[in-house]
Amino acid sequence: MASPFDLLVLGAGSGGLAAAKRAAFYGAKVAIVEGDRVGGTCVIRGCVPKKLLVYGSGFRHSLSDAASYGWDVGPARCDASVLLANVAAEVDRLDQLHRDLLAKAGVTLIRGWGRFVGAHTVEVTSGAAGAVEAELEGAEPHGSSQQLVGERILIAVGGRPKRPAIPGAELGWVSDDLFLQRQLPSTVVIVGAGFIACEFACILNGLGVAVTQLVRGDHLLRGFDRELSAAVQEAMQAEGIEIRFAHSPAAISGEPGALTLTTQSGEQLDCGAVILATGRRPFLAGLDLEAAGVAIEGHRIPVNPDQVTNVPHIYAVGDVTDRINLTPVAVDEGRAFADTVYGNKPRRVNHQLVASAVFSDPELASVGLSEEEAIERYGEEAIRIHRARFRPLAQALPKRGPRVLLKLVVETSSDKVLGCHMVGDHAAEIIQMAAIAIGMGATKADFDRTMALHPTVAEEFVTMPD
């Protein structure tokens, strides 16, 4: 058996990579275990390839608007197979880049799937099927294996999409599957109302796919400001996406490429593919956490503010803890762990103020409290709302597209800005900078004192009347 590592990291996603490289920078002997490509959900099957598809689908609007600016581009069509192949190639490049960065940082990459066989010991199985795949398939792990010992162990294995418990669910795609396709069907049914469902609905619609979206409740994007989610919904429907509220799937039948989704009301929808965007869950399968004595709470690993599980030398970061499942949060958690344990720079992650974005069409971004959250916390009489809604200058000549929406939620007594929200092009880029001001406790007067950059959309945040 090899000599013990100071740190064993399970999972080479955003949180695990950040923790491993920073711990190695501080001089720790680090190994990271990964049975898939390196980069995790964000790089391989999430944020990065999704955003590339967003860019690709967005050219439909750019090309159609060109004529109003004097450009004759002629008829245009998208060959989705080229876009999908180019995105896959970029993912491959990033996988290799992250491998190289690990090597440069002095982190040992162990290929395979890890499972606990003791409080300090992890068995890594490589080959045709590791421990994780074997458990999912109901078989025994096979392939070559080795045992690694770590003084400390960090669990950063992330999450996986979950399928609804309906007949034929295995015929549907989850979000991961879209990035494996080489062609797109002509019709798709998307099940879900969250950001993944809405983003894919807009991407596929932009690439020429007819999209029907089934929503169990009565509105999209639960957890976001209702006025913003309504603005996104209005724009999606205007672009031809059919959204059916109070609809849930009961079964999927047929064959790949020719499916029928039956709703709980008995309606049958024929389509080329069904995308099940029905949530994600921490990926605990195959870890054998009980062998190390690590406690589970529901489907997640609970940790304290220093990322420590109930076992003092075992830590967890990222989606496996199911707190705020965003890449930058996982990265900061991983770095905070390394700073605290190996860098003699103890710090904790602030989970109270985290900006978020939905890369739908139009884009939505928020930081701080929504109107509903502010009312619940302070009372309706204690807050005031400032908003601006208008057609942006970029659409003055094409004369199309939804109006942008900018919104400030302000506490009346202190004038403090509690929330800053936007729906429109480049919303995430704008809210990223607004998040600095909100984090510093800016007031509406601070916004008002800021000189506007004209003509821009963002200037409306500093020119809204009282």
Token pair recorded at residue 216: 């169990």
Whole-Å CA distances, 160 to 224, 278, 291, 358, 432? 22, 11, 22, 19, 27
**Terminal alpha carbon distance of the chain:** 69
Place of tokens 């275990």: 33
Whole-Å CA distances, 158 to 14, 15, 25, 99? 9, 8, 23, 18
Q: Count of alpha carbons within 13 Å of 64, Cβ hemisphere only? A: 13
Q: How far is CA 378 from the centre of its chain?
A: 30
Contact present, 238 and 395 (Cβ < 8 Å): no
Per DSSP, 30 falls in state: E
In sequence order, what are the beta bridge partners of 53?
A: none
Give the number of other Cβ atoms within 10 Å of residue 140's Cβ.
9
Question: Which residues, 6 or more positions from 231, have their beta carbon under 8 angstroms from its beta carbon?
Answer: 362, 364, 402, 405, 423
Q: Which of 61, 98, 299, 454 is catalytic?
A: 454
Whole-Å CA distances, 21 to 99, 107, 382, 388, 407? 11, 7, 46, 44, 39
Per DSSP, 245 falls in state: E
Report the distance separating Cα 198 and Cα 401, nearest Å: 17
Token pair recorded at residue 433: 């900078």
Contact present, 81 and 24 (Cβ < 8 Å): no
Report the distance separating Cα 109 and Cα 9, nearest Å: 10
Long-range contacts at 260-264 (CB < 8 A, ≥ 24 apart): 261/189, 261/191, 261/214, 263/214
Token pair recorded at residue 447: 């916004």
Active site residue 120: no
Report the distance separating Cα 41 and Cα 176, nearest Å: 9
Per DSSP, 443 falls in state: B
Whether cis (ω within 30° of 0) applies to the bond prior to 362 is yes
Report the distance separating Cα 295 and Cα 116, nearest Å: 13
Catalytic sites, residue numbers: 454
